[in-house]
Amino acid sequence: MDPISAALLVALVSGAGGAAGTQAWAALGELVRRPFRRADQTEPVPALRELEALEGSPRDPDRAQALAEVLQHRAAHDPDFARSLTAWLEEAKAVSTGSGDVHNTVSGGSQGNVLQVRDLYGSVTFGTPPAPDAGPAGQTG
């Protein structure tokens, strides 16, 4: 399993990635709250405590590092949690890196109309709409 970056945790808890980042953080909270799958450990108390501490101080890198370490430790002792955490981590990395963003470059001379978007729903019009058809030439009303 890849190590969990404290910077990733800080970014997500601080709202990076907009709605997707918020969903990723909520998904981590749900994952942390799942009980351990080992008979000798029934509550995810250390991870939950660190998760809540980071929520209380979202820009604190030490709290983020503490959460990352607790998550890694738990993953080392709970194979089900490790699988779920690995899947979560892949999704969280995509959110925090802006995977899916569009990066356009316009260069050179006069370009005319340029539109830069990622997702577009509906129509786009440049300039003034054409005048309505006046009918055949030479015809008067």
Q: What tokens were used for 99? A: 């995977």
DSSP label at 111? -
Q: Reduced to 3 states, what is the DSSP secondary structure of residue 39?
A: coil
DSSP-based three-state secondary structure for 23: helix
Q: What angle do CA 96, 102, 104 make, to 5 degrees?
A: 135
Query: pTM of the entire structure?
Result: 0.62
What does the pLDDT profile of the chain (141 residues) look like in tens digits?
Answer: 778 889 999 988 888 778 888 889 999 999 988 876 555 555 556 888 999 999 999 989 999 999 999 999 999 988 999 999 999 998 888 876 555 555 567 777 766 777 776 566 677 887 777 677 755 665 555
Q: What is the Cα–Cα distance from 110 to 103, expressed in whole angstroms?
A: 20
